[in-house]
Structure 1
């Protein structure tokens, strides 16, 4: 099983989620990302390191610049993990619907099924 802790750690911060959305639109340098936030480049760099550690971004060196881009495939294990809960609630809600329909049918003497 994949260790999701680094990904969830990266996603746990609203600034990092905002950075991911931005990088999903276009790759950016640290300076370009920094323009969108009221924090130092060093602080933005720390956020980018956490995102990189989680595998959520790809960093490409181009000369003296580092170009950061979204690595959306790293979100797949998170999507799968959350999907389990989606199916869990679908099953529970379907069971509740069936129980309500059965109860309603018993109350009216009409069998819906």
Structure 2
């Protein structure tokens, strides 16, 4: 595995779980506590914290503690790496299609007359 892809791997791993994607959706509307994030999925707080740690390790969310309460919010620019990765793949595919089109134009037409 290419070590330069590690942050992207962590990001995709974080988004692979439906509970974590639901938390991201909720956090995209604004900050929330662990309890607020756990309730919709009926997660116990320790399970919710584990999911949130994966999201934090993936660079998607950040947290701050005030007293006994921990609040999570989206990290600004959390999905820039995905955007860039997708743009690179799209550019590579478009270049491949352009080469295919050019190769098809370069093939001389067949003469169908007997």
TM-score range, shorter chain: 0.7 to 0.9
Report how far residue 99 of structure 1 moved.
Answer: 5.0
CA–CA distance in 1 between the matches of 2:100 and 2:5? Answer: 33
Aligned to 1:64: 68
Q: How many residues align?
A: 107
Report how far residue 96 of structure 1 moved.
Answer: 3.8
What are structure 2's unaligned runs of at least 5 residues?
Answer: none
Q: Which runs of structure 1 show a deviation greater than 4 angstroms over 4 or more consecutive aligned residues? A: 97-100
In the TM superposition, what are the counterparts of 1:49-60 in structure 2 within 5 Å?
49-60=53-64
Residue from 52, 59, 74 that aligns with 2:78: 74
In the TM superposition, what are the counterparts of 1:1-113 in structure 2 within 5 Å?
1=4, 3-4=6-7, 5-99=9-103, 102=105, 106=109
CA–CA distance in 1 between the matches of 2:87 and 2:68? Answer: 41
Report how far residue 92 of structure 1 moved.
Answer: 2.3
What TM-score, normalized by structure 2, do the two folds share? 0.76
What TM-score, normalized by structure 1, do the two folds share? 0.76
